[in-house]
A and B are shown apart, each in its own frame.
Chain A
Amino acid sequence: MFRRLRASWRRLLATLGGDLHGEREITDELRSHLDHHIEDNLRAGMTRDVAERAARVHAGGLGQTVEQVRDRRGLAWLDSLTQDVHCAARSARRRPKFAVVAVLTLAIGIGTTTALFSLVYAVLLNPFNYEGADRTVNLSLLTDTGAPQGVFLTADQLTQLRRASVVEDAVATDAFGMTLTGGDLPEYARTLFYSLNGPGFLGIRPVLGRIFTEADTLGGGTPARVVILSYAFWRSRFAGATDVVGRTVQLDRTPYTIIGVAPPGFGGDILVPLDMGSDPSHAWSGGMVRLKPGTDLSAAQSELQALMTGFAAESPQRFPPGFRVRVSRLIEGRRAASFALPLVVSFAAAVLLLVVTCVTVSVLSLARGAARLRELAVRQAIGASRWRLVRQLMAESLVLALAGAGAGIAFAYWGTPRALKWLPPNSFPDVAETVYVSGPVLLFGVGLALLTSVLSGLSPALTLSRRRVGGLFQAAMVLVSDADHGRAHQVLVAAQVAFTVLLLAGTGAGVRSLLALLNTPLGYDPSNVLVVSANLPLGSYREWAARATFFEQLRARIASTPQVDAAGMSIYGGVPPRMGWRSLVEVPGRTVPPGMHPIVHRVSPEYFAALRIPVLRGRVWSAAEGQRATGVAVVTQGMARAFWPGADPIGQRIHVPELARSSSQFVLAAPGADGWMEVVGVVGDTPNIGLHDAPAPAMYVPHTVMLGDGAVFAIRTTGAEPLALLRTVREQMQAISPGQAVAQARTAQDALDAGGWARERFVVFLLSGFGVLALVLAVVGLFSVVSFSVARRVREFGIRLALGARRTTIATLALRPLAWSIAAGLVVGVALSTVANALLARWSIGDLTDPVVLKVAWLVHKFNEIAAADGFVPIEVNPSAGD
């Protein structure tokens, strides 16, 4: 038996390797024969020529032999395989009920697993369809405290970097929004800037037109005004028009020519050449480097360290003292990101569900096998070997699995994009563009089908093919229990219960963690708040006063709109659950512990009213103070506790060096700003570094202290649906500044969703879905097992009923053999959950061994038993006639 299995396996491998009829093997064998012969001839003293010829003549025709052997070998097994598959398809057609249930069950398992795999593949396994993506690294700097920081280079330094010996090529990049005018209202376009070699570096093969290259200059190093549209933007903004190439668009009031459309997967809305200028004071992020093939990371690291140290001597202000160069593969960033673990956990859950579906189909096939014992016995009686029966049964499960895979993959193909629409954008990067059932995913699906056919078919095949012919032809035998059969069933049921418990435990844990998330006090009121961001056209309002006035005009105009209750403003950072950024601070008379960087958030005084953040002590600065950029600050309760424990924070002074001078061309510090702030009030904490972490100590300062080139408005409505106000708000902005676009508009609730609620909900939704499906499958499986055992004992039960037994008694009788399986399954399931819990401890989800979770699992199985017990009554009994 195992010899045959091994031989078939080898043949299958040969087939998969393209050696359908063992042709390569036989050719090898004949070649070796000939070589041996020639060697003998040589040893006998012939010259090589003669030796070869003699051997050839002696051996006879090679081609013909290969053919003969191929016929014998290939066709025999192909022939019986086609026969088996044909027969399997026929039997499925003649018993459609079983086939439909089995195929649907497998389709669920394969479909969900494939769908999630397509996500995993697009997000984690192959997210960068760049050329040489595996050699592409992110270049960053680590400060002496270990904090990462970007690399900024001048045009000249980039040229040097590109010439470094370990470097194949490098690009400078930047990303911010530009305003696209020409439509009904101005529109915001997420713009990716690349040095002219960028599109070539990334290996973008345009679906329309061409990419820009180093030839696209206006002379003197200034790049041409050209733009490549991203695939998604081309579809949404230009309706996929094929004649976009050559059209002119206005970006920040400057005409640009569309030269091409990028394929999916490159992100952003548009790609524009980065103008690095020749001014050495201009620096650009030069973070993306492709190493030469075969370069190892540490070699690259040390060479680039030397290069960067040279750059640091030229422009010390852009390199922190004592920095170290860090080189990390692109993919590492992806895998370390916050979405990676939930995704992997969901995928694991889908795999678990797939296993449950396989076990279910095993149980079903086994139960159906009870009705087929006669057929199988007849087949053995007319000469089928056990091996042959196993093959036939495996062919049947293969047919079911392939049908299931077909349905499942179709389901994944159809369902994945739809399911992803439920997610707020950016839950997973760029999925909308790249997640689809691609070649590798399809291959994965087919692989799953093969795997499931083995998983779901092998155990029934081995059990059913066991030789037990004799008794089956005796009438009395048909209903008598069969120990082997029973044991296989019990093990399968136990496995099914165990995996279901594991899935349910996961679901329960997920639900609890979501609940915990939802129950966390927010410290503000996210309902009825519209959040709108607006960016200044590149290079406009370069004077602090003009910019401050312009922003305030916009804010006031919005605040005066009917149905608007309050309108606050902030610079960058926006609204909870993420806002501001960590800054270095100094407090007179205290040493701030290293690593203690509070969040500094720049806002207008109305911000607190708009978000309903409570003022606990002191006051918020006045509008007039705000206009003058007075050095005042409001701190959160957490900050007060961390920085001035036991002391009154009001009146304390704090220095934020970052706010003393403009750090880049995009921000404007207030004239005379020195970074000193006096604390005037204390407000409540709100989430500011994401929903999964407790709020960090934070301080609010007037936004005017350091103006950015964009502002975020938090607009509280008087109760109207926030997004319904969007058009009015856009028109108000137009009235002040024609051509002013809204970069992003969403509600504060959306921000919460994007900050993790939605992803968490999605994962919990998936897990609960899987849990419920597994439960249903467990019921289906138990039902079929119970009906199987009832069918075997129908006469006994009939007699007992006739003697006055109650139905519940019979149900207990019918279920007793399964009680042990269920109990064993529960125990194993709980044990597995404990192990999984240990593995998942890193993820902030609930405890899988939580007694509540297990209680739920236990209850569900109680319910299961009852359902199964009730289900046995309508079973048809069909005692077959024997000889």
Chain B
Amino acid sequence: MSKQDIWQGTLALMVLKTIELMGPQHGYGIARRIEQTSGHQLLVNYGTLYPALLKLEQEGYLTSYWDTSDNNRRAKYYKLTRTGKRRIEKATAEWEQATEILARFLSPGEA
């Protein structure tokens, strides 16, 4: 697995989770929210965000539609599908398991 892949994989989960928490959101809103949640340790630019959104849409986890945003601009909104919700559950479980395993390696003393 390359670094990019990890980032892509976790970004996808962050995106899905963000939309799950906030409801339908446009790209900018998602980016801001992720940056905020990460305490501004992450910087989300176009190049990482939009390919990821498109991929999620193509995989059927998200759907999109155009709408006007709060400040009256047209924006493309992304919405979670039912498959998307299931995907979050599964990915969350996997992620927890993986981090747990990794944690055992990183701090063997506690095991």
Contact = CB atoms under 8 A, between A and B. Distances in A.
A69 B54 contact: yes
Interface string B68-95: 0101011110000000000000000000
Contact of B55 (A28, A33, A72): A72
Main secondary structure on B side of the interface with A: helix
A36 B50 CA distance: 15
Contacts of A61: 46-47
Contact of A68 (B29, B31, B43, B51): B51
Given A29-B76, A73-B54, A76-B58, A36 B26 contact: yes
A30 B50 contact: yes
Contact of B69 (A3, A36, A72, A76): A36
B24 interface: no
A227 B95 CA distance: 89
Interface string B31-71: 11000000000010111001100110010000100000101
A25 B47 CA distance: 16
Contacts of B47: 60-61, 64-65, 68
A233 B75 CA distance: 62
A28 B43 CA distance: 22
A26 interface: yes
Interface residues of A, number: 25
B46 A36 contact: no
Interface in A669-726: none
Interface size class of B (residues with CB under 8 A): 20 to 34
A37 B45 CA distance: 12
B54 A36 contact: no
Interface in A34-50: 35-37, 39-40
A73 B57 CA distance: 10
A69 B28 contact: no
Given A29-B76, A39-B71, A59-B45, A65 B28 contact: no
B54 A32 contact: no
Given A3-B63, A61-B46, A32 B75 contact: yes
A72 B47 CA distance: 13
Contacts of A26: 50
A32 B66 CA distance: 11
Contacts of B74: 28, 32
A32 B73 contact: yes
A62 interface: yes
A28 B54 CA distance: 14
B61 to A, nearest CB: 12
A391 to B, nearest CB: 15
A60 B31 CA distance: 13
B27 A33 contact: yes
A65 to B, nearest CB: 4
Contacts of A727: none
A58 B32 CA distance: 11
Interface in B2-43: 26-29, 31-32, 43
A55 to B, nearest CB: 10
Given A60-B46, A64-B47, A35 B73 contact: yes
A76 B29 CA distance: 28
Contacts of A60: 45-47
Contacts of B73: 32, 35-36, 39
A33 B47 CA distance: 13
Contacts of B46: 30, 33, 59-62, 65
A36 B75 contact: yes
Nearest to A6: B63
A65 B50 contact: yes
B2 to A, nearest CB: 16
B45 A58 contact: yes
Contacts of A65: 46-47, 50-51
Contacts of B27: 29, 32-33
A58 B26 CA distance: 17
A30 B31 CA distance: 12
A39 B32 CA distance: 13
A33 B28 contact: yes
Contacts of B45: 58-60
A260 to B, nearest CB: 55
A69 B50 contact: yes
Instruction: Among A30, A33, A61, A62, find the residue whose CB has the most chain B CB atoms closer than 10 A.
Output: A33
A37 B35 CA distance: 13
Contacts of A37: 28
7 contacts: A30-B50, A32-B26, A32-B28, A36-B26, A68-B51, A69-B50, A69-B54
Q: Which 9 A-B pairs have the closest CB atoms?
A: A60-B45, A65-B46, A36-B28, A33-B28, A32-B75, A29-B76, A65-B47, A60-B47, A68-B51
Interface of A: 3, 25-26, 28-30, 32-33, 35-37, 39-40, 58-62, 64-65, 68-69, 72-73, 76
Given A32-B76, A60-B45, A68-B51, 20 more contacts: A26-B50, A28-B74, A29-B27, A29-B50, A32-B28, A32-B69, A32-B75, A33-B26, A35-B73, A36-B28, A36-B69, A36-B71, A58-B45, A59-B45, A60-B46, A62-B46, A68-B47, A72-B54, A73-B54, A76-B58
